[in-house]
Structure 1
Amino acid sequence: MILGTFLTALNQTVMSVATPELMKDLNIEASTAQWLTTGYMLVNGVLIPITAFLIKRFTTRQLFQSSMILFLAGTIVSAIAFNFPILLIGRVIQAAGAGIIIPLLYNVVLTLYPPAKRGTIMGMVTFAILFAPAIGPTLAGYVLDISSWKVLFYGMIPFVVIVIVCGHIYLQNVSKTVRAKVDTKSVIISTIGFSGLLYGFSVAGNSGWLSLEVIVPLVVGVLSLGLFTWRQLVLESPLLDLRTFKYSTFTLTNIINIGITIIMYADMILLPLYLQDARGYSAMEAGILMLPGALLMGLLSPVSGKLYDRYGAKWITIIGIIITIVTTIPFTVLSDSTNYNYLLLMSTGRRIGMALLITPIQTAGLNQIPSALSAHGVAIWNTSRQVAGAVGTSLLVTVMTISTNANLQDQMSVGKTNGEIPQNMLTAASIQGVNDAYLVIVIIGIISLVLSFYIKSGYIYTDEIQKRQMES
């Protein structure tokens, strides 16, 4: 299951370094190309609320095998795509399969392991979930230097087939199935809500925040999610039981995780764009710059899980966020001569900070909710993470686009340029756009840091508390 999770998570960011080549090959803009990553994460976010129902209704083997087969189908469609719409369809099919895998794996962990041992196990799971998308840009950079972007998908096919075959032979069922009905209205409302929010954020860069094309989807999205929330609270058997939010540690760590997810996924889009478009580095060079951080992030995830089992989440999280903020600040003052090795050092530092905090806050949040709500807690956690990644990426690309256009207009008005825009102006404007986007990331990091001081020290295992109350 961890291997299958690794492959599906890898696909979240494997397109990030390929964005410049796809823009040329498919004749699309950056705001369009980013849908290959944003759309993937959004479909995950839309589908994950349904996983609480699916985990109860179907066996572990049925869900895992069905998801991997769907993921394989999407990979094949992406590999044979000859234009952007078909490639996007393939990515959406991939995401439909991948959206079930990670919540299913989390639920298996919560079922098999007691709270006192979950930190270490969650660290192993986080290794797959974070290490895979972190090495995605490096792997893609190597492939793009020697071949076409299609190889990114063709090369994935045999590995997915191996996972499906091994799952058929070795995977066992770990949970009992319950006959339940899915609330179709809730599924429709949540899909409209999440889709509306993302579309509004995505087109804001080109259309402007005050245009109807932006305002209408955002309003529809917010109202739909409000209706979805109300419906889940009044239903006897909700699609997604939002009463898990009454557990304070779960709610707090979930909010912090949203901020950290935005920081992580936005960086995977912004840094390759700066390196390749503004600085002229190859896809391989952009990928290599992100590789050391990816390796350390993967290696430190199990370590941070063990630290959580010993010390709890609060101070590990605080230290991790401080490291992340300090190493992000240099990215707010990038120029056309910023040293490559300096960027490599700071990028690696950011990954170390995030590796320290992600496993502890996740384990602390999920440990607090009772076992009866585990499937819903896992679904909510992963929905928040996926939607935060999608909306955060769109928001920061929008910030970058708006800032770039504004800076370009300022330079043109000062230089009184007529006709074709000089390349140095384009480069300077795009770099300033990236700087402003990273400034937003720093602000999000500071907010997350303040919230982390409210995490309770020690452990809160709700099932154990309830057991002691019954015994007394």
Structure 2
Amino acid sequence: MPAPSNLQAYVLPGRDRGIILVLLFAAFVVILNETLLNVALPRLMQELNLQATTVQWLATAFMLTMAVVIPTTGFILQRFSTRTVFIAAMGLFVLGTLMAGLAQGFGPLLFGRVVQASGTALMLPLLITTILALVPAAHRGGVLGMVSIVISVAPATGPTLSGLILEVLPWRYLFLFVVPVALVVLAYGVRRLVNVGEVRPAYLDLPSVGLSVLGFGSLVYGFSSVGNLGGWSSPQVWAALLGGGVGLLVFVLRQNGLAQRGAALLELRPFRYPMFSLGLGVILIAMMALFGGAILLPIYLQSIRGLGSLQTGLLLLPGGLLMGLAAPTVGKLFDRYGPLPLAVPGAMLLVGTLWGFSTVGEGTGIGTLLLLHLILSLGLALLFTPVMTTALNPLPGPLYPHGSAILSTLQMVAGAVGTALLITVWTVRSAALRGVAPPEVAQTAGLQAAFGLATCVAVVALFLTFFLRRPQPEPSAPEGAQAQQVSSVGD
């Protein structure tokens, strides 16, 4: 283990701490809604008389909107002030949540989800960029650990909270309960939030926006729709993937050309920093396994083990809470010891628990499943904060918005890819045994094959973690609160 750094205890100034706490709470509220509706989909199918392929668009459209909006946040965070972006993000989220809660049919409900997602897409890059601007690189691990709380606890809490509400109230209250909370956060943020960094002139290249929509949007749509459009043999799936690949290639080429004139919509220069590229690769592989597992485990618990939605949410909740509670401590340990002593054991736990899930059967004890999920969550806690901090630390100030936008966008793509791959393996393996073995046995075999693939993917992440090193920001790159002036210009 590397010798601990001789770092004095770092305490955020009161103003900076207040800014970050406002954004953290706002991010928690908006990200909670990514999973809040998942448990309610069967109820919506009954009450609105919808098919499964139709109601699934409430989740797919949310992810699709995020994938389309996030690539533009590099431009947005550079061009507009912190308060402006915060007000826009929370305003869109409140409006979309209210529209969804009052919707009388599927169309208005879907549109409300799209507006919700537009606000959500702005919030996480805003939070990460603000932390990078306010906190010196040597102390970012502990603060970015707070972001891991939002990323892990909010999605884990969503299904449980949703199950509790649906036990006694109509589905509309999933949204109506959130509206007053979001309004309080918006009002407090408007009153307390100050602008961080300097607003710089930026050029909005409309062809790049179109290419971003085509590239990222089509890829996420294609991978997310594999299960709804008849599998990998569907022409629609392949058309979406092909269009997305071509769009993304042209998008990259155009950004490289525009970057020479300082007019890129999304700067790709962060990829020139080896630790950013390496850390991003580890995060994306881990996200593929995490998102796929988040889909497979509820299917197994409800379809094979017969648990209800509330029971499933309660079983998965402790893992999310453990990951969130461990994240700040892991961040502080990163600041002291660097990434290797944390990321390598975290990746080992990830590999071991995914392999453990690949051996579960129809009679595996609930206690065993809970223990595996807790260890998996601990492994992810040891992995995410050190790797994310390692990836973002070497970037100079002007690339903060673009680095966070790249990170957030590719996480969405990786989640869609991981889900599609693992669901496909599960479906194909189960179908191969249909008629030969009982349905429960066939589904369990599919689950084991899918988690086996996730284990192999996680082994690649484990290999990459051995190359992580504590990066040092460029001497010319301003870092920390002292190097970033708080803008005194109001909105």
Q: TM-score, normalised by structure 2?
A: 0.87
Could you tell me which of 215, 226, 229 is aligned with 2:252?
Answer: 229
Deviation of the 1:73 alpha carbon: 1.4
Shift in Å, 1:192: 0.7
Are 2:309 and 1:279 equivalent residues in the alignment?
A: no
Of 105, 108, 112, 1:90 maps to: 112
Segment of structure 1 superposing worse, 246-255 or 27-36: 27-36
- CA–CA distance in structure 1, aligned partners of residues 109 and 446 of structure 2: 28
Query: SS state of the match for residue 322, structure 2?
Result: helix
Match of 2:277 in 1: 251
Q: Percent identity?
A: 39
Match of 1:333 in 2: 359
Deviations 1:329-386 (A, max 9, x none): 2222333222111111111111111011101111111101111211111111111112
Query: In the superposition, relative to structure 1, how do residues 459 and 443 fare at CA in structure 2: closer, same or farther (>3 Å)?
Result: same
The equivalent residue for 2:173 is 151
User: Helix, strand or coil: the match of 1:336?
Assistant: coil
- Secondary structure of the residue aligned to 1:333 is coil
Could you report, residue by residue, the CA deviation over 1:204-238 in whole angstroms, capped at 9, with x for unpaired residues? 34424233222221111101100000000011210
Q: Is the 8 A contact 1:115 1:367 kept in 2?
A: yes
Q: Contact 1:123/1:303 (CA < 8 Å) preserved in 2?
A: yes
Q: For residues 19 and 445 of structure 1, do their structure 2 counterparts lie closer, same or farther at Cα, with a shift above 3 Å needed?
A: farther
| Pair 1:344 & 2:370 matched | yes
Q: For residues 27 and 258 of structure 1, do their structure 2 counterparts lie closer, same or farther at Cα, with a shift above 3 Å needed?
A: farther
Deviations along 1:275-298, one digit per CA (max 9) or x if unpaired, are: 122222111110111121111111
Give, as a single letter, the amino acid of the residue that structure 1 aligns with 2:460: I
Structure 1 residue 267 and structure 2 residue 297: aligned? no
Q: Does 1:134 align with 2:156?
A: yes
Q: 1:291 to 1:75 in 2, by over 3 A?
A: same
1:51 to 59, 66, 73: 73
The 1:45/1:29 distance shift into structure 2, 3 A limit, reads: same
* SS of residue matched to 1:368: coil
Distance 1:321 1:188 in 2: 37
How do 1:425-440 and structure 2 match up within 5 A? Answer: 425-440=438-453
| Larger CA deviation: 378-387 vs 133-142 | 133-142
In structure 1, the residue matched to 2:26 is: 4
Q: Distance in 2 between matches of 1:21 and 1:450?
A: 43
Task: Describe the SS at the equivalent of 1:462.
Answer: coil
Change (3 A) 1:103 1:172: same
The reply to whether residue 461 of structure 1 matches residue 473 of structure 2 is yes
Unaligned stretches of 5+ in structure 1?
Answer: 416-424, 468-472
Q: Give the letter aligned to residue 170 of structure 1.
A: R
Q: Count how many residue pairs are aligned between Structure 1 and Structure 2.
A: 453
Partner of 1:297: 323
Deviates more, 1:362-371 or 1:388-397: 388-397
| Aligned equivalent of 2:210 | 188
Q: Does 1:380 align with 2:380?
A: no
State which drifts further: 241-250 or 139-148.
Answer: 139-148
Aligned-CA RMSD value:
2.2
- 1:178-200 Cα offsets, whole Å, 9 max, x none, are 23221111111111112222232
Match of 1:163 in 2: 185
Runs of 4+ in 1 over 6 A off after TM superposition: 464-467
The 3-state SS of whatever aligns with 1:17 is helix
Q: Is the 8 A contact 1:57 1:178 kept in 2?
A: yes
Identify unmatched segments of 5+ residues in structure 2. 1-22, 480-491
Tell me the equivalent position of 1:422. none
> Who is 1:444 aligned against?
457
1:241 matched to 2:267? The reply is yes
CA contact (8 A) 2:256 2:264 kept: yes
The alpha-carbon deviation at position 464 of structure 1 amounts to: 6.2
- Whole-angstrom distance in 1 between the partners of 2:202 and 2:477: 29
Q: Which residue of 1 aligns with 2:128?
A: 106
Q: Is 1:15 aligned with 2:28?
A: no
Residue 197 of structure 1 aligns with which residue?
219
Counterparts in 2 of 1:465 and 1:88: CA distance versus 1, 3 Å: closer
Is the contact between residue 47 and residue 100 of structure 1 (CA under 8 Å) also seen in structure 2?
yes
**Distance change in 2, residues 1:260/1:48 (3 Å):** same
Q: Name the residue aligned to 2:342.
A: 316
Question: CA 1:398 to 1:40, structure 2 compared with 1: closer, same or farther past 3 Å?
Answer: farther
Show the counterpart of 1:421. none
Which amino acid is 2:356 matched to?
P
1:125 aligns with 2:124: no
Structure 1 pair 152–466 and aligned structure 2 pair: CA distance change class (3 A): closer
Taking the aligned partners of 2:33 and 2:417, their CA distance within structure 1 comes to 18
What is the Cα deviation at residue 28 of structure 1?
Answer: 5.0
* Deviations 1:78-118 (CA, angstroms, capped at 9, x unpaired): 22334444433222211101101111111111111111111
Per-residue CA deviations over 1:1-49 (Å, capped at 9, x if unaligned) read 1110001111122233334444544555656554433432332122111
**2:67·2:412 contact (CA, 8 Å) conserved in 1?**
yes
Please give the alpha-carbon distance, in whole angstroms, between the structure 2 residues aligned to 1:25 and 1:47: 31
Q: Does 1:214 align with 2:214?
A: no
- Cα pair distance change 1:266/1:147, threshold 3 Å: farther
Q: Distance in 2 between matches of 1:214 and 1:314?
A: 39
| Greater Cα offset, 10-19 or 225-234 | 10-19
The structural deviation recorded for 1:395 is 3.4
Q: Is the 8 A contact 1:75 1:156 kept in 2?
A: yes
In structure 2, C-alpha distance between the alignment counterparts of 1:305 and 1:261, rounded to whole Å: 19
Of Structure 1 and Structure 2, the greater helix share is in 1
Corresponding position: 1:74 with 2:96: yes
